[in-house]
Amino acid sequence: MYPQALTLSSAAVPGGAPPLAIGTAALLLSFLIASLLVWLLRRNRISLLRILDQPNARSLHHAPVPRTGGVGVLAGVAGGLALALPWLPTPGIGWAVAAVVLATALLAGVSLFDDRHHVPARYRLAAQLVAAVLVMAAGVVWRTLGLPGLAGLMLPLWLAPALTLLFVVWMTNLYNFMDGMDGLAGGMAVFGFGALALLGLLAGAPDYALVAAVIAAAAGGFLLHNLPRAAIFLGDVGSTVLGFWAAVLLLWGAGRGLFPLWLGVLVFSPFAVDATWTLLVRFARGAPVWEAHREHHYQRLVLAGWSTWRTLFWAYVLMGAAAASAIGARSLMPSEQWLLLAGWAGLYSLVHWRVGLVERERPASPERS
């Protein structure tokens, strides 16, 4: 048995949902803060945060672009939650909240320094492991198997911490890996955290829904400036923290019984599948798995001749379908959920085949618009 303390994974919200006006104001504030700050950053109005992404052999852009948009997302989330959380009193979780905030600050600080200077991979990994340990101390742990029909099967005590560390670190990195095209990572945040917010509402957890919705709103404020041709990038400070938040919210929601873990992973599967598949392929042929490259499916499509807008459109279709499937799967029987997973496995296999077909049919120089 696992102890059930008043942590982020087990806390309930006394008093129900906050007033509708407060929730709406929190979302608007998050969106506006992120949008305004990103607007200032893209115009280099904040000299301390003037960091440019210089194009290189692995880039899909041609000219230097500011890469601190993630700072705007962080500020938007902080502003929105600062307004809303006092209306969701949850006694006894002060340390849990502090641990998650501290973990976020650690990752953001290391990533921002990496955006300006180079931080060796081993130090970045060490920071990610410390952040994962902090959220585990906050009660965010992968406790149950989380598969259709087996969602309540408890993991062994020795296995749960190891899987939690692996999951948090991998989600943190895969989001960073996939942040390589205009509008992609920001769009995944809007679709992904938006879907988690709806899942939280459907499960009767307004606090969870509010946190997820505020993140989605801040990501939307950033996305206004990141659509092709992007005027600013997330940078590691944005992509790393969004991946970390995705891991935390998936484990938090599953730990509270709001949804099984597989369903939350399905929401972010457009990123999780591409990043994992690419890593395994590179590992199998002996390529350095942690080095930047242009082998993700979206990169291959652009390099094969698809425009950025066309690639992004179909990526959004995939993200929307994954989110809708996850929301709809709540009412399915376990056997039907397994069929749904099999269908998605087939769909991702089809995507992989289609990308290869585009490469064979159109070996043209890429459009960059």
Q: What is the pLDDT of residues 224-253, one digit of tens each?
A: 999 998 889 998 999 999 999 999 999 999
Mean pLDDT of 68-77: 94
What does the alpha-carbon distance between residue 119 and residue 240 come to, in Å, rounded to a whole number? 14
What does the alpha-carbon distance between residue 41 and residue 58 come to, in Å, rounded to a whole number? 24
pLDDT single digits (tens) 186-197: 999 999 999 999
Mean pLDDT of 38-65: 72
Residue 76 lies in a domain: yes
What is the band of 63 on the pLDDT scale with cuts at 50, 70, 90? low
**More confident site: 144 or 325:** 325
**pLDDT value at 36 more than 90:** yes
Q: Which domain holds residue 206?
A: 20-259
**Buried b or exposed e, range 233-250, using 16+ CB within 10 angstroms:** bbbbbbbbbbbbbbbbbb
Domain count, the chain: 1
Q: What DSSP letter does each residue of 283-326 carry, written as one string?
A: HHTT--TTS--S-SHHHHHHHTT--HHHHHHHHHHHHHHHHHHH
What is the band of 98 on the pLDDT scale with cuts at 50, 70, 90? confident
Residue 159 lies in a domain: yes
Residue 319 lies in a domain: no
What is residue 285's predicted lDDT score, i.e. its pLDDT? Answer: 81
Mean pLDDT of 134-154: 88
Residue 175 lies in a domain: yes
Percent of the chain with pLDDT over 70: 87
305: left (phi over 0), alpha (psi -120 to 50) or beta: left
- Mean pLDDT, the chain, rounded, equals 86
Mean pLDDT of 205-222: 94
What does the alpha-carbon distance between residue 56 and residue 58 come to, in Å, rounded to a whole number? 5
What does the alpha-carbon distance between residue 66 and residue 44 come to, in Å, rounded to a whole number? 8
pLDDT single digits (tens) 310-341: 999 999 999 999 999 999 999 899 999 999 99
What is residue 45's predicted lDDT score, i.e. its pLDDT? Answer: 76
**More confident site: 198 or 46:** 198
Question: Are the beta carbons of 306 and 365 closer than 8 angstroms?
Answer: no
What is residue 193's predicted lDDT score, i.e. its pLDDT? Answer: 98
Lowest-pLDDT range of 293-302, 323-332, 337-346: 293-302
**pLDDT value at 60 more than 60:** no
Residue 215 lies in a domain: yes
Residue 348 lies in a domain: no
- Supply φ then ψ for residue 192, to 5 degrees: -65, -55
What is residue 14's predicted lDDT score, i.e. its pLDDT? Answer: 41
What is residue 5's predicted lDDT score, i.e. its pLDDT? Answer: 40
**pLDDT value at 52 more than 90:** no
What is the band of 125 on the pLDDT scale with cuts at 50, 70, 90? very high
Residue 283 lies in a domain: no
Lowest-pLDDT range of 46-55, 119-128, 237-246: 46-55
- Supply φ then ψ for residue 149, to 5 degrees: 80, -10
What is the band of 39 on the pLDDT scale with cuts at 50, 70, 90? very high
Retrieve residue 263's tokens. Answer: 């369903």
What does the alpha-carbon distance between residue 265 and residue 246 come to, in Å, rounded to a whole number? 9
Residue 41 lies in a domain: yes
What does the alpha-carbon distance between residue 137 and residue 165 come to, in Å, rounded to a whole number? 12
Mean pLDDT of 275-300: 82
